[in-house]
Structure 1
Amino acid sequence: MANQYVLGISAFYHDSAAALLRDGEIVAAAQEERFTRKKG
């Protein structure tokens, strides 16, 4: 059976984030403040 992937994106508030899941397990996640080094 093929793997199921889900890409979750939160971009409508001040702290954007994204997560990639494979078969319900988190494969990768990132938050905007990790790249900009600005909190909130």
Structure 2
Amino acid sequence: MNILGISCYYHDSAACLISDGKLVAAAQEERFTRKKHDPSFPHKAIEYCL
């Protein structure tokens, strides 16, 4: 089973991908937008994880 975790609209939006209970990828949106504490929907972090 694959699970995509998303945290957004608050301090430091991010995404992570878990496959069969193991962390596959994780990223904070601010790493891609270069905006500190970016609260927006993590489009780029999701793309990175997938």
Question: Is TM-score (shorter-chain normalized) higher than 0.5?
Answer: yes
The structure showing larger relative contact order (alpha-carbon pairs under 8 Å, at least 6 residues apart) is 2
The interval holding the TM-score normalised by the smaller chain is 0.7 to 0.9
RMSD over aligned Cα atoms: 1.1
Under a length normalisation based on structure 2, what TM-score does the superposition of the two structures give?
Answer: 0.62
Indicate the residue corresponding to 1:5 in structure 2.
2
Alignment: residue pair count: 37
Q: Which runs of 5+ in 1 are unaligned?
A: none
Larger Rg: 1
Under a length normalisation based on structure 1, what TM-score does the superposition of the two structures give?
Answer: 0.74
Q: Which runs of 5+ in 2 are unaligned?
A: 38-50
